[in-house]
């Protein structure tokens, strides 16, 4: 298998060093486990200590708290490299960083950063994010998980769904409302340990793809949280969720780029080996057309992803760019993985080759952290707003 660079621009020496380190780790430690992770729905816990020591689990954490403080562009490079080897491993790292560590560092107090971000960066704890509910996905403001104030802090009751890392996580960023009639203005964010009385985890979901990334529901039965669990201002939780998802969407876009690149690399290698009508199939025009269209999509997806991440690094508004990157990269990943499987022909349809895994893994990138339909809404709404001047 070849490991190619594709189109990049403006990467500095640090970015390239991080890419090379992530690529070496992905190739030597993650890729050999990818088939087992998928086939056995295996959570690769043994990768966590080394990923922590390489700074992968503290990518969003300041160096003063033991993190590696990567730029968003560097973070996207890291996620792409992991995803090219194993999509499950990449989303374990991405959900931990983008959805749990980021909001703690961005919106939390210094005490919350010390209590939660430090162990999340060191690998002592794994993070998750609880926004969706059984009846609330795209319409996130309609959530019903309820919190009430008490003398000591808060009490929470309700259900959360589709929690990536849920079965294994130790720390959760939770969204709950104290007034469903107030819409998004009733929502507050909290950060808490998942090892509290009253929290139960559902059985791990049996998914189409990313099978080593564990997902479950969470049930909160009269869970008591201390007053210090409130993350950001009361009533501003929806803004915490949206601000967090902007960054998360660049991470999923990078994951999609990695899955697409992995699919392309395998199909490219196969097309050079496989013979039909007297020559390697890559010599046939139909296959060349596929390869050209695949690499175009991979590189265009990476450029959109890095452009959104670059805007975040500059401190600029980037919600439209993040949505554009996720929308394009996720649909490109499914398209590229589908064409890669086609290049393999019958061999693509069986589990002896990774082509069908790439296709199963790619599909979720069109769904989680905001469906393609929601991304189109965000892109069009921000475009219309910006055009008003
Ligand atoms: N970035 C920053 N802020 C955002 C934002 C974004 N992308 N989208 C909305 N907001 C803010 C708005 O600025 C507004 O805040 P203020 O009143 O303080 O200005 C607030 O959020 C409400 O905005 P709006 O009225 O547009 O919210 P809606 O309820 O109409 O919802 C969508 C907007 C549909 C875009 C939102 O619910 C969404 O992203 N849904 C998908 C949720 C998702 O990704 N779920 C996956 C969970 S993780 S697997």
Average pLDDT by consecutive 10-residue portion of the chain (389 residues)? 60 95 98 98 98 98 97 98 98 98 98 98 98 96 97 97 98 98 97 98 98 98 98 98 98 98 98 98 98 98 97 97 98 98 98 97 98 98 89
Nearest CA to ligand 1 atom 6: 242
What's phi and psi for 224, nearest 5 deg? -90, 125
What would the DSSP string read from start to end of 318-348?
A: -HHHHHHHHHHHHHHHHHHHHHHHHHHGGGG
- Is 184 close to ligand 1, i.e. is its CB under 6 Å away? yes
Catalytic residue among 81, 133, 265, 369: 369
Question: Are residues 121 and 167 part of one domain?
Answer: no
Residue 196 lies inside a defined structural domain of this protein: yes
Tokens 């998750």 locate to: 128
Q: Which ligand 1 atom minimizes the distance to the CA of 236?
A: 18
Question: Are residues 215 and 91 part of one domain?
Answer: no
> Is the CB of residue 356 less than 8 Å from the CB of residue 341?
yes
Give this prediction's pTM: 0.97
pLDDT at 3: 47
CATH number at residue 172: 2.40.110.10
Q: Which ligand 1 atom minimizes the distance to the CA of 370?
A: 44
pLDDT at 322: 98
> Is the CB of residue 139 less than 8 Å from the CB of residue 130?
no
Which residue, 69, 95, 126, sits at the end of a domain? 126
Residue 3 lies inside a defined structural domain of this protein: no
Question: Are residues 183 and 72 part of one domain?
Answer: no
Please give the distance, rounded to the nearest whole angstrom, from the Cα atom of residue 279 to the centre of ligand 1: 53
pLDDT at 5: 63
- Is 132 close to ligand 1, i.e. is its CB under 6 Å away? yes
Residue 25 lies inside a defined structural domain of this protein: yes
Question: Are residues 151 and 50 part of one domain?
Answer: no
Please give the distance, rounded to the nearest whole angstrom, from the Cα atom of residue 296 to the centre of ligand 1: 31
Q: Which ligand 1 atom minimizes the distance to the CA of 368?
A: 49
> Is the CB of residue 95 less than 8 Å from the CB of residue 162?
no
* Total Cβ atoms within 10 A of residue 62: 14
Residue 1 lies inside a defined structural domain of this protein: no
| Structural domain count of the chain | 3
- Is 321 close to ligand 1, i.e. is its CB under 6 Å away? no
- Is 242 close to ligand 1, i.e. is its CB under 6 Å away? yes
Structure tokens, 24: 């070496």
pLDDT at 310: 96
pLDDT at 10: 80
Structure tokens, 83: 């995803």
Give the span between the Cα atoms of 241 and 140, in whole angstroms.
Answer: 9
Please give the distance, rounded to the nearest whole angstrom, from the Cα atom of residue 242 to the centre of ligand 1: 5
Question: Are residues 359 and 253 part of one domain?
Answer: yes
Q: Please name which of 173, 162, 154, 151 lies closest in space to residue 237, comparing C-alpha atoms.
A: 173
- Is 319 close to ligand 1, i.e. is its CB under 6 Å away? yes
Is 356 a catalytic site residue?
A: no
Nearest CA to ligand 1 atom 41: 138
Please give the distance, rounded to the nearest whole angstrom, from the Cα atom of residue 120 to the centre of ligand 1: 26
Please give the distance, rounded to the nearest whole angstrom, from the Cα atom of residue 98 to the centre of ligand 1: 17
Please give the distance, rounded to the nearest whole angstrom, from the Cα atom of residue 264 to the centre of ligand 1: 34
Domain that holds residue 228: 128-237
Give the span between the Cα atoms of 195 and 207, in whole angstroms.
Answer: 25
Strand partners, 231: 189
Strand partners, 216: 163
Question: Are residues 381 and 300 part of one domain?
Answer: yes
Residue 90 lies inside a defined structural domain of this protein: yes
- Is 368 close to ligand 1, i.e. is its CB under 6 Å away? yes
């Amino acid at each position: 298998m070849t490991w190619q660079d594709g189109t990049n621009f403006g990467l500095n020496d640090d970015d390239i060093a991080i890419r090379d380190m992530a690529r070496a780790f992905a190739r030597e430690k993650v890729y050999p486990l990818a088939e087992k992770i998928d086939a056995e729905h295996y959570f690769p816990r043994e990768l966590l200590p080394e990923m922590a020591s390489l700074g992968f689990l503290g990518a969003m954490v300041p160096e003063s708290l033991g993190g590696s403080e990567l730029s968003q562009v560097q973070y996207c490079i890291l996620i792409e490299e992991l995803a090219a080897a194993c999509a499950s491993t990449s989303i374990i790292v991405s959900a931990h960083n983008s959805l749990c560590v980021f909001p703690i560092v961005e919106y939390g107090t210094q005490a919350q950063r010390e209590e939660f971000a430090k162990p999340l960066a060191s690998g002592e704890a794994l993070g998750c994010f609880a926004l969706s509910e059984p009846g609330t996905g795209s319409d996130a403001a309609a959530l019903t998980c309820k919190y009430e104030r008490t003398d000591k802090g808060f009490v929470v009751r309700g259900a959360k769904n589709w929690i990536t890392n849920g079965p294994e996580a130790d720390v959760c960023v939770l969204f709950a409302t104290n007034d469903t009639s107030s819409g998004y203005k009733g929502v507050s964010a909290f950060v808490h340990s998942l090892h509290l009385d009253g929290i139960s985890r559902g059985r791990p979901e049996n998914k189409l793809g990313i099978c080593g990334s564990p997902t479950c529901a969470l049930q909160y039965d009269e869970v008591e949280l201390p007053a210090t669990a409130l993350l950001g201002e009361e009533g501003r939780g929806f803004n915490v969720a949206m601000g967090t998802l902007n960054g998360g969407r660049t991470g999923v876009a990078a994951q999609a780029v990695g899955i697409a690149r992995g699919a392309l690399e395998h199909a490219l290698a196969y097309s050079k080996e496989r013979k039909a009508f007297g020559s390697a199939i890559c010599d046939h025009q139909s296959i060349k057309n596929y390869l050209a269209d695949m690499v175009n999509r991979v590189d265009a997806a990476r450029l959109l992803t890095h452009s959104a991440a670059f805007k975040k690094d500059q401190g600029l508004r980037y919600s439209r760019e993040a949505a554009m990157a996720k929308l394009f990269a996720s649909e490109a990943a499914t398209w590229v993985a589908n064409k890669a499987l086609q290049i393999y022909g019958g061999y693509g349809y069986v589990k002896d080759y990774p082509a069908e895994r790439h296709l199963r893994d790619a599909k979720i990138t069109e769904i989680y952290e905001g469906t393609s339909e929601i991304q189109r809404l965000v892109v069009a709404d921000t475009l219309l707003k910006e055009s008003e001047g």
